[in-house]
Amino acid sequence: MYDRVIPLISAREQMAFQESERFNSEREILLRLAPDCWNELKATFREECAKLSAHSHVFKFECDEPDDDTLFVNRIVGYGVINDLTFSFDRAVPPHHVSHR
């Protein structure tokens, strides 16, 4: 009986180990790519805000970057500024998690 159970347990443990290795490899890749993706996201928002502002008489937007890990998308109303969106890059959060305020 044990000669059948031991290979099954061993195979299951090997599969779990390989899955952990795969997960860790993917996570390392995502962690390396995350800063570039973050910078691309900020650049895209800046470009789109500029395009929209240039073609609209009603909507005017600006992007403000108080630090490397924060992007504010502000709506300009008269002489005031309203913060419409805030994006934050949190290096401690798993790379596949996206949040905005």
Cut 0.75: pTM above it: no
- Domain borders along the chain are 2-88
Q: Band the pLDDT of 70: cuts 50, 70, 90.
A: very high
Given this model, what pLDDT does residue 98 score?
Answer: 53
Three state DSSP letters for the chain = CHHHHHHHHHHHHHHHHHHHHHHHHHHHHHHHHHHHHHHHHHHHHHHHHHHHHHHCCCCCEEEEEEECCEEEEEEEECCEEEEEEEEECCCCCCCCCCCEC
Averaging pLDDT over each range in 46-50, 55-59, 81-85, which range is the top one?
46-50
